[in-house]
Amino acid sequence: MNSLNLHGIQKSFGQTDVLVDVDLTVEAGTFVTLLGPSGCGKTTLLRIIAGLDAPDSGTVHGRGMTFVDTQAGIFIPPQARELGYVFQDYGLWPHLTVAENVAFPLQMRAMAKADIRERVTEVLGAVQLLNHADKRPEKLSGGQKQRVSIARALAGKPSLMLFDEPLSNLDANLREELGYEIRRLTRELGLTCINVTHDRREAQLLSDSIALMKDGRIHQVGPPDTLFQNPIDVWAATFLDAGNLLPGALFGLDTPTVLVGRSAATVDPTGTLHGLVTATLYIDDRYESLIQVEGHQLKVFTATRLNPGDSVCLRIDTRSVRSLSG
Amino acid sequence: MYHRLNKSRLAPALWFTSLVTLVIIVGLPMIAIILFAVFPKINELSLTAPFSLLIPNLTDPRLSGAIANSLMLSASVTAVAALTALPLSLLRARMSKRQGQFWDVCFLIPFLIPPYIGSLAWMQLLQRNGFIEQLFGFHAGAMLYSFTGITLVMALNLFPLIYFSASRSLMVIGSRYGDIARVCGANPLSTFFRIDLPLVLPALVSSGLIVFILTIEEFGTPEILGRRFGFEVMVTAVHDKFTNWPVDLAGASVLCCVLILLAFLAYRGQQMIVAVYQTQVDANGFATAEPSTSVLLRLSTVGVFALVAIIAVALPLASVTASAFMDTMSGGLDRDNFSLRNMQTVFAPGSDAINAILTSLSLAIAAALLTALIGFLVAFTLVRLPSRGTAMLDFLSILPNSIPGMAVAVGLILTWNLPFWPVTPYNTLLILLLAYLCLMLPYPIRMLTTALRQLPTSLDHAAYVAGANEITVIRRILAPLLAPVAFAAGFIVFAISTRELVTSLMLSPPGVETVATFVFRQFDQGSMNVGMAMSLLTILLSAVVIGAGQRLAGRTFR
């Protein structure tokens, strides 16, 4: 009942097709991220779900009702869809206090004042901002602002939450912390969530499932692990940075390109591939080296430091070699 | 059609209201001018003999002479103003912050002096037996009543526009690009010509075009100074066609068309320059130039600024003030001639002056409130509810920027004199209000659209998603956020309305005077001192109101 279904969504601005025949189902209580490069149509799709944009054709069903059906001429405006929306730039009203910002959706539903106060306290408590209730947004840090934005979205008890790159304006440590918090809150409340981002880390951090988008189409859908282990083609593997891309001939395969999982390549004196280290760096408690093999570049993790200029032998676990199309 | 369902029904209603309002205020007068220029018999509601008077009018030597004079005057005023402003703004860039702020305030003062008052002030200074002759024993009447005189008087009034634009641009450019050029081996001279000048050129040209437009629109100065030596420009020629019998509606319309076309071209040029160059300087390297430490440079800077300030600011102000407190003009600068009589005349209960002040104040308040309101509505429609007809609305909202006051007056006369209106605002104060609205609308529209564009759309969207409709978004979110800007725009409109001359002269119903027409009539009747007392009040009022408006505008939310 709280699932979201998009069917045959088309949208073009002038001559450019922004969305081409998009079908997408988001199961109730799951968190789906639309991931893709800028211009792939993901933000337009989110705006269409929210009602801030209308598709040229197609249907949108959510919360057990029809949001949009172009053939039947149905379009529910955003104010009647009762969803939560968390904006990339927070979208907090600068002339209202934190509590007033959070109270706004409740006032729109003409709730009683006492109930509003109670609910505002409740959601501000949930995002740990109770002692900032009377501050103006300008006094808050970026992370706090985004928490207010989340509290405001949650205030009206929506069953469907939309996120527009909620973490992209935050610095690295905060992103992870808030990411875990969004995960916890949305799962506890059993919310159906759609997130939009171009950042694969943000997608991995938040999602049960990722819909990879390219040129206005859904390119591939799957849980993060499946998606990153089995990208369907060269473009997906490249965009996801899923591993090393090498010519199939190196492994005696017919396919022009194969994907080799990053941890599948190890430096081993008995390895059959000969390579030259061109750069090396230390990152996240391990060494990462760029190695040239027959004119192709591989990124390889090692426990010990390699030096640029070193000749090495690489062993590749052939079980993790996947043929890619395109 | 399905697209109609995109938003609620309120959006088209708001859109329609904006469009109709602009069509009535801006569109009708413009259409009337064009129709009268093309169809000479249109006031008899006949479309006969289209274009029959267009060519004869355009080839009339008097008209072509006025056009040539207008263009020559505008070009030379722009050139003189730019040549005055450029060195000042270059020196300004190397000043300490406090010193710079002082001179900036100084050069704001010419904005407070309406050009017609400035011209009258210069007359008192330079004419035979004027203040200069009384103090220093020489007069420059011959120079004042010449092309050079008009050019200088107008350039002195308008150069601050270029000064502020260029010095602000130089401040944004900062010293960084120049420093990089130095590091690459350029000497100061080639740094200036190869780096700084090209970077400041867009600001220079675009503000120069504004000066060009303001000059070509100006009525007071050519009327006051030019009439003395038979110098006619387009605006004064149009005025003549209305005041001299027989009234030549077609001729006035043709002239107005040319006037609007020239102003429109200059305005479009200015917009294009701004659009092309605005984003070129990356603001990341914001570093203002260090204040100069050379004593010689600092001294000569003060000298140059003081000289310009004395000529452009102190002399006209002193002239107005002195005239305002002199018993008779012929009595000269003498202690015995000091008197408060002019002020008493102005403030005498029931006097023409008091009535003029009250008329101007009520018109200005109405214009300020209405333009702020309409400006807000139009800005919201333009920025937040774009639809297929936006181009039309956009055009109507920008058009008044390039309609000279004289053309607005002519357009309104032509429109509301047509026989088929059941009621007409003509010959009532309402037509003056319409004229002020048309002339002043660009200020609130420009200020409010700019401010609204800077407000992220997520503020609106968050409200829509939270269950608000357009009216709630305007009332609860945008209106409180933009109120300070709307106030500031209202104050500017108020200040300019209280001194507006051209449409007031052309459209005032019989027996009604505004502050500007009062001053103008005093000059015509030879009671210069009373006129100057009123002028002084106008200048002071502008200063207070604009100052208060700026202070309010500073209180915007971040």
Q: Is the pLDDT of residue B236 over 90?
A: yes
Domain's final residue, options B294, B324, B339? B339
Whether A78 and A145 map to the same domain: the answer is yes
Tokens of B441: 């609308």
Domain of residue B178, CATH code = 1.10.3720.10
Tell me which chain B residue has its CA closest to the CA of residue A49. B465
Q: What is the mean pLDDT of residues B322-329?
A: 88
Integer Cα distance of A231 and A102 in angstroms:
41
Cβ-based contacts of B474 with chain A (< 8 Å): none
Cβ-based contacts of A82 with chain B (< 8 Å): 467
B interface toward A at CB cutoff 8 Å?
Answer: 2-3, 5-8, 456, 458-459, 461-469, 472, 476-477, 480-481, 557-558
- Per-residue pLDDT of A251-288, as tens digits, reads 888 888 999 988 888 888 888 888 999 999 998 888 99
- Determine the pLDDT at residue B248: 83
Q: What is the mean pLDDT of residues B437-459?
A: 91
The answer to whether the CB atoms of A77 and B464 lie below 8 A apart is yes
Whether A100 and A119 map to the same domain: the answer is yes
Sheet harboring A217-222: ordered strands across?
A: A84-86, A160-164, A192-197, A31-35, A209-214, A217-222
Q: Of all residues in chain B, what percent carry a pLDDT higher than 70?
A: 94
Residue B48 is assigned to a structural domain of this protein: no
Domain's final residue, options B274, B307, B339? B339
Whether A67 and A10 map to the same domain: the answer is yes
Query: Does residue A78 or residue B77 have the better pLDDT?
Result: B77
Amino acid code (one letter) for A270: T
Dihedrals phi, psi of B214, to nearest 5 degrees: -65, -35
Q: Give whole-number Cα distances, B91 to B103, B155, B182, B204, in Å.
A: 11, 19, 19, 15
Whether B335 and B349 map to the same domain: the answer is no
Q: Domain containing A209: what range? A: 4-233
Tokens of B466: 């939270």
- Mutate one of A10, A11, A79, A161 to test the B interface: name it (highest B CB count within 10 A): A79
Residue A129 in contact with residue A79, Cβ under 8 Å?
no
Q: Is the pLDDT of residue B382 over 70?
A: yes
Question: Which residue, among A194, A124, A122, A140, has the nearest Cα to A165 in the 3D structure?
Answer: A194
- Determine the pLDDT at residue B332: 80
Integer Cα distance of A119 and A114 in angstroms:
9
- Determine the pLDDT at residue B558: 42
Q: What is the CB-side half-sphere exposure of residue B534 using CA atoms within 13 A?
A: 33
Q: Residue B288's pLDDT band (boundaries 50, 70, 90)? A: low
- Determine the pLDDT at residue B397: 85
Cβ-based contacts of B467 with chain A (< 8 Å): 79-80, 82, 105, 108-109, 156
- Determine the pLDDT at residue B171: 79
Query: Does residue A235 or residue B12 have the better pLDDT?
Result: A235
Q: Is the pLDDT of residue B279 over 80?
A: no
- Determine the pLDDT at residue B317: 94
Domain's final residue, options A192, A211, A233? A233
Query: Does residue B329 or residue A35 have the better pLDDT?
Result: A35
Domain's final residue, options B293, B318, B339? B339
Integer Cα distance of B21 and A320 in angstroms:
69
A interface toward B at CB cutoff 8 Å?
Answer: 50-52, 54, 70, 73-75, 77-85, 87-95, 104-105, 108-109, 138, 149, 152-153, 156
Q: Is the pLDDT of residue B285 over 50?
A: no
User: How far is the alpha carbon of A148 from chain B, nearest alpha carbon, in Å?
Assistant: 12
User: How far is the alpha carbon of A200 from chain B, nearest alpha carbon, in Å?
Assistant: 24
- Per-residue pLDDT of B97-114, as tens digits, reads 888 889 998 998 888 899
Whether A53 and A132 map to the same domain: the answer is yes
Count: domains in chain A: 2
Whether A86 and A204 map to the same domain: the answer is yes
Whether A205 and A298 map to the same domain: the answer is no
Across the A/B interface, how many CB contacts are shorter than 8 Å?
Answer: 85
- Determine the pLDDT at residue A263: 82
The answer to whether the CB atoms of B465 and A85 lie below 8 A apart is yes
Q: Is the pLDDT of residue B118 over 90?
A: yes
Tokens of B518: 């009062």
Q: Give whole-number Cα distances, B249 to A267, B256, B426, in Å.
A: 93, 10, 16
Q: Is the pLDDT of residue B127 over 50?
A: yes
Q: Is the pLDDT of residue B4 over 50?
A: no
Whether B333 and B302 map to the same domain: the answer is yes
Q: Is the pLDDT of residue B86 over 80?
A: yes
- Determine the pLDDT at residue B6: 45
- Determine the pLDDT at residue B8: 60
Q: Which of B280-289, B383-392, B452-461 has the highest mean pLDDT?
A: B452-461
Kindly tell me the sign of the dihedral angle through the C-alpha atoms of B267, B270, B276, B278. Answer: negative
User: Count of residues for chain B?
Assistant: 558
Kindly tell me the sign of the dihedral angle through the C-alpha atoms of B41, B42, B47, B50. Answer: positive
- Determine the pLDDT at residue B190: 79
Q: Residue B1's pLDDT band (boundaries 50, 70, 90)? A: very low
Q: Is the pLDDT of residue B386 over 80?
A: no
Q: Residue A223's pLDDT band (boundaries 50, 70, 90)? A: very high
Whether A214 and A277 map to the same domain: the answer is no
Whether B230 and B327 map to the same domain: the answer is yes
Q: Which of A54, A79, A88 sits opposite B6 (nearest CB)?
A: A54
Q: Is the pLDDT of residue B49 over 80?
A: no
Whether B320 and B350 map to the same domain: the answer is no
Whether B387 and B423 map to the same domain: the answer is yes
Residue B298 is assigned to a structural domain of this protein: yes
Q: What is the mean pLDDT of residues B279-298?
A: 63
Q: Which range (A104-113, A296-305, B55-64, B365-374) has the least confidence? A: B55-64
The answer to whether the CB atoms of B466 and A105 lie below 8 A apart is yes
Q: Is the pLDDT of residue B223 over 90?
A: yes
The answer to whether the CB atoms of B462 and A85 lie below 8 A apart is yes
Q: Which range (A164-168, B79-83, B178-182) has the least confidence? A: B178-182
Q: Residue A191's pLDDT band (boundaries 50, 70, 90)? A: very high
Domain of residue A289, CATH code = 2.40.50.140
Amino acid code (one letter) for A19: L
User: How far is the alpha carbon of A109 from chain B, nearest alpha carbon, in Å?
Assistant: 7
Q: Is the pLDDT of residue B73 over 90?
A: yes
- Determine the pLDDT at residue B287: 54
- Determine the pLDDT at residue B3: 39
Whether B26 and B82 map to the same domain: the answer is no
Q: Is the pLDDT of residue B5 over 50?
A: no
Whether A136 and A283 map to the same domain: the answer is no
Tokens of A220: 């591939």
Whether A111 and A170 map to the same domain: the answer is yes
The answer to whether the CB atoms of B481 and A95 lie below 8 A apart is yes
Residue B1 is assigned to a structural domain of this protein: no
Cβ-based contacts of B469 with chain A (< 8 Å): 77, 79
Q: Is the pLDDT of residue A43 over 90?
A: yes
Residue B132 is assigned to a structural domain of this protein: yes
Q: Of all residues in chain A, what percent carry a pLDDT higher than 70?
A: 100
- Determine the pLDDT at residue A56: 94
Q: Is the pLDDT of residue A1 over 70?
A: no
Q: What is the mean pLDDT of residues B285-292?
A: 58
Cβ-based contacts of B6 with chain A (< 8 Å): 54, 75
Tell me which chain A residue has its CA closest to the CA of residue B458. A91
Cβ-based contacts of B387 with chain A (< 8 Å): none
Q: Domain containing B296: what range? A: 53-339
DSSP A215-257: TTEEEEEE-HHHHHHS-SBHHHHHHHT-EEEEEGGGGT-SSSE
Q: What is the mean pLDDT of residues A199-204?
A: 92
Tokens of A36: 């893709």
Count: domains in chain B: 2
Whether B308 and B364 map to the same domain: the answer is no
Q: Is the pLDDT of residue B277 over 80?
A: no
Cβ-based contacts of A156 with chain B (< 8 Å): 466-467
The answer to whether the CB atoms of A80 and B459 lie below 8 A apart is no
User: How far is the alpha carbon of A66 from chain B, nearest alpha carbon, in Å?
Assistant: 14
Q: What is the mean pLDDT of chain B?
A: 86
Whether B242 and B278 map to the same domain: the answer is yes
Q: Is the pLDDT of residue B270 over 90?
A: no
Whether A113 and A162 map to the same domain: the answer is yes
Residue B331 is assigned to a structural domain of this protein: yes
- Determine the pLDDT at residue B94: 79
The answer to whether the CB atoms of B467 and A109 lie below 8 A apart is yes
Cβ-based contacts of B2 with chain A (< 8 Å): 54, 70, 73, 75
Whether A203 and A294 map to the same domain: the answer is no
User: How far is the alpha carbon of B472 from chain A, nearest alpha carbon, in Å?
Assistant: 9
Whether A195 and A247 map to the same domain: the answer is no
Domain of residue A139, CATH code = 3.40.50.300
Q: What is the CB-side half-sphere exposure of residue A243 using CA atoms within 13 A?
A: 26
ipTM above 0.85, yes or no: no
Q: What is the mean pLDDT of residues B40-47?
A: 72
Domain's final residue, options A208, A233, A258? A233
Whether B294 and B380 map to the same domain: the answer is no
Angle (deg, nearest 10), helices B457-465 and A142-155: 30
- Per-residue pLDDT of B353-380, as tens digits, reads 999 999 999 999 999 999 999 999 999 9
Domain's final residue, options A233, A258, A278? A233
Whether B37 and B71 map to the same domain: the answer is no
Whether B554 and B450 map to the same domain: the answer is yes
Question: Which residue, among B367, B514, B515, has the nearest Cα to B437 in the 3D structure?
Answer: B367
Cβ-based contacts of A54 with chain B (< 8 Å): 2-3, 5-6
Whether B441 and B323 map to the same domain: the answer is no
Q: What is the mean pLDDT of residues B503-528?
A: 91
- Mutate one of B388, B458, B471 to test the A interface: name it (highest A CB count within 10 A): B458
Three-state secondary structure of A261-283: EHHHEEECCCCCEEEEEEEEEEE
Residue B520 is assigned to a structural domain of this protein: yes
Q: Which range (B213-217, B285-289, B438-442) has the least confidence? A: B285-289
